[in-house]
A and B are shown apart, each in its own frame.
Chain A
């Protein structure tokens, strides 16, 4: 049998891929539910402000990419933190990664379950999506990174379908009033936290930093990716405000899918089914990317970094992921609740990782630099 290698690097990847990956990681699942968490029209400003904060965070993050450490991968981290400490960090990093895989898969499957296969057991759907993701990730990290182009091409234009909602007879300006917050509550803070967690995701680029071309200004691409996400969030939120009105929006489940249901074409009646299925490319990309990162992390924790990747190890990883999703789905999942415990866990964990990872790396570089002097 040919050797099974997942993390081989045969060629550099372009900064352009960084842009696509950042954008896809940010948009992800939250685009489907974002409007119903923001609800108030003044959150349009919120999206812009949090987008700027995320940009500031990306500036910090890009410092890591321009430092000498980024290209070396594992050995650079060991240099920065020391082996034991680094393994400890990775062990901690595995938790939000697994949480992200679980929450995203289950939430997406729930949407499919609600709109396309209401009578189907959810576990079948989980299995179907995971099998595809396992297949993609078994092709190796490099191919998975390249897969982002397909994921992007299959999903980014969906947002353009909602442009008609910006015009009469759907739209009236009064649905966007008031633009400035007139009252502030705990929920508004929660919405901002939700927004911040929707902008999270770029921190996972550290898992693939050795693949990027050396000496390239990756910052530019990160900025573009972030900008595209801001625009996509704005389009989806404003169009759903115009479509539902703020009051009705707060009572709607999956507003974006409901809007897709309203679209009509002379050929197919259920456009939402097609769009929701196309969204699967996006999911498969993110989940297979996370699976590979998870497997890589496990290898670091068990001190197997320098050995060849094995089929058994990879399959074991997949099995762990599938079982944990199945367990959560079977015993701990409450479907359809807006303030779902798992979703809030995911919101908190991704907000924290997005905030801490760039800062931590930058601090480590600064400290290292000082001790070398």
Chain B
């Protein structure tokens, strides 16, 4: 299973759908997409990880890098994830404190709108 990436706008927020494995081989493609979105002026991002089957530290690094980029524009990068095997990686690295992690895309968007 390779990495599949897609994105669409919902309520003014850019939702990035990620499917498959994010590792040292595939993570550069996610990095490029996040950079491309920020360069195109999308600073409010939600990364939907519900169909991610594998995530390693390279993937975590790309997500942290994306967060840095959107924050430079007062933006946000929230995650959607309910899979325990993926959440565990955020927990052991302490990154649950860095990202907003939500159960659904709608919930992530609602929480983001409420914060504005």
Indicate, yes or no, whether A interacts with B.
Answer: no
